[in-house]
Amino acid sequence: MDSIVTASTPAAAVTGLSPSDRDRAFWSAVLALGVGGFAIGTGEFVIMGLLPEVARDLHISIPRAGHVISAYALGVVVGAPLLAVLAAGWPRRALLMALMAMFAAGNLASALAPGEGSLNLLRFVAGLPHGTYFGVAALVAASLAPPDRRASAVGLVMCGLTSATLVGVPIAAWLGQHLGWRAAFVLVGAIAALACGLIRLGVPNLPADRGASPLRELGALRQPQVWLTLGIGAIGFGGMFSVFSYIKPTLTEVAGLPVDAVPLVLALFGVGMVLGNLFGARLADKSLMGTIAGLLVWSAVVLGAVVFTAPHALAASVNVFLVGTVVAIGPALQIRLMDVAGEAQTLAAALNHSAFNIANALGAWLGGAAVAAGLGWTSTGWVGSLLALGGMVVFGASLWQDRRAGRRR
């Protein structure tokens, strides 16, 4: 399947537009969808820097406060397939607005949570629309773009998420430190509400796929290539989280950087994410499978290099930037899922973000296990490299299954 843009897809609703009108529709949609991604990225990552404030306010330990991060990730993993299946027949714009409104409500309610249990529950609720939003947003952007620019369109939407690490998270964290952690969630909710309005104004009123239904969406789960592509993301992308989850102690205790310098190095990570996302999307437009293979190799090299660069402040800082570029594989995997899912586009596109959150949990857990075993902070680099190599094994299985299916045909 060379393209998802067929007569039965939402792209058919905009094929009658002139090139200039289609171009305007594309950029207005990308802007609106990007603001939604910015809201989600800010809400997902800001809490990581506010755990001490949450713990102090709720009278719990910092490790217990960290459960709010796990609750959100669980919401993403559960919500992506659930909402994608239940809302399979919804028009695209209406679904995107509903998802963003749900995210806004979840964050505003989080700001009012009276205790630990309610906060965990509300962070779970806030995570539910995450995967489905990005999946549907990717479908919309790809349907509005020329067939040879689909990955670039997905990359532009994902820029909202990656740019949040540079702009949204620092602003929300500053607000949370000065006005309390609840103020950060109010800001996220307000940005999400703004995105909801922009989606109403900027995204074309595209219908769902012809004949879309929950049963048809579940058909994606019968495709071996869907599972293999999700496996590439869940395992191969986990390496980045193995390193990044423990980057602060690595920088301060191994590289010897002062605590005040850590935010500057983390900003380099954000720059790497933004540039990697855009560059990886362009590469995927030229060679989708070649890009996935090349970026898995790149991930193994960059993550493994952490072991050797960590003791040197300058080299470690540059390596952190390079680790951020590993996110470049995201748009390529998104397009691959859309290509192998057949008619079950919504579920497959949403599941990509479930896989990334599994990668988050897997990478952080394995990296922590290596540190707890006494292997030191730099051992997370070896763990990350091995996970990238594991992703290459799954990628090889995907190629083998493709060739096998081709011989049968």
Residues 300 and 399 in one domain: yes
Residues 153 and 94 in one domain: yes
- The mean pLDDT of 218-222, rounded to a whole number, is 69
| Residue 59 backbone class (left: φ over 0; alpha: ψ -120 to 50; beta: rest) | left
Contact between 361 and 70 (Cβ < 8 Å): yes
Residues 294 and 190 in one domain: no
Burial class (CB in 10 A: 0-12, 13-18, 19+), 178: exposed
Both tokens assigned to 163 = 């740019």
Residues 331 and 358 in one domain: yes
Q: 3 in a domain, yes or no? A: no
For residues 110 and 100, what is the distance between their CA atoms, to the nearest angstrom? 15
pLDDT, tens digit, 9 for 90 and up, residues 76-95: 888 888 888 888 778 888 99
Residues 200 and 237 in one domain: no
> Of the residues 170, 189, 208, which one is the last residue of a structural domain?
208
Q: What is the pLDDT of residue 7?
A: 32
> Of the residues 187, 208, 229, which one is the last residue of a structural domain?
208
Contact between 285 and 151 (Cβ < 8 Å): yes
Q: Catalogue the E-assigned strands of 305-386.
A: none
Instruction: Supply the CATH number for residue 284's domain.
Output: 1.20.1250.20
Domain residue limits at 100: 17-208
Q: Which residue has the tokens 């992506």?
A: 80
| Segment among 110-124, 153-167, 194-208 with least mean pLDDT | 153-167
- The mean pLDDT of 26-41, rounded to a whole number, is 89
Residues 247 and 337 in one domain: yes
> Of the residues 162, 180, 208, which one is the last residue of a structural domain?
208
Q: 185 in a domain, yes or no? A: yes
Q: 186 in a domain, yes or no? A: yes
Q: 326 in a domain, yes or no? A: yes
Q: 310 in a domain, yes or no? A: yes
Q: 204 in a domain, yes or no? A: yes
| Of residues 277, 103, 106, 92, the one with CA closest to residue 195 | 103
Residues 131 and 223 in one domain: no
Q: Which residue has the tokens 């039965």?
A: 8
Q: 102 in a domain, yes or no? A: yes
Residues 153 and 296 in one domain: no
Looking at every residue in the chain, the average pLDDT score rounds to: 83
B/e letters for 270-296, b = 16+ CB within 10 Å, e = fewer, are bbbbbbbbbbbbebbbeebeebbbbbb
| DSSP code of residue 17 | S
Q: 172 in a domain, yes or no? A: yes
pLDDT, tens digit, 9 for 90 and up, residues 239-255: 888 888 778 788 888 88
First to last CA, the chain: 14
pLDDT, tens digit, 9 for 90 and up, residues 131-146: 889 888 888 888 887 7
What's the half-sphere exposure (Cβ side, CA atoms, 13 Å) at 299?
A: 36
Is 215 a residue whose pLDDT tops 80? no
Residues 159 and 271 in one domain: no
- The mean pLDDT of 12-37, rounded to a whole number, is 73
Q: In Å, what is the CA distance from 314 to each residue of 57, 249, 265, 379?
A: 37, 16, 10, 19
Residues 335 and 232 in one domain: yes
In the chain, the number of structural domains is: 2
| Of residues 33, 35, 28, the one with CA closest to residue 14 | 28
- The mean pLDDT of 220-232, rounded to a whole number, is 84
pLDDT, tens digit, 9 for 90 and up, residues 331-386: 888 888 878 877 677 777 788 888 888 888 788 788 888 888 888 888 889 999 99
- The mean pLDDT of 293-310, rounded to a whole number, is 93
Tell me the residue type at 379.
Answer: S
For Cα atoms 304, 274, 191, give the angle at the middle one, nearest 5 degrees. 130
pLDDT, tens digit, 9 for 90 and up, residues 252-279: 888 888 877 877 888 888 889 889 888 8
Residues 194 and 217 in one domain: no
Contact between 220 and 336 (Cβ < 8 Å): no
Residues 330 and 353 in one domain: yes
What does residue 336 show for φ and ψ, rounded to 5 degrees?
-60, -45
Torsion of CA 150, 154, 157, 158, to 10 degrees: -160
Q: Decide: pTM greater than 0.85.
A: no
- The mean pLDDT of 219-235, rounded to a whole number, is 84
Q: What is the pLDDT of residue 408?
A: 62
Q: What is the pLDDT of residue 19?
A: 62
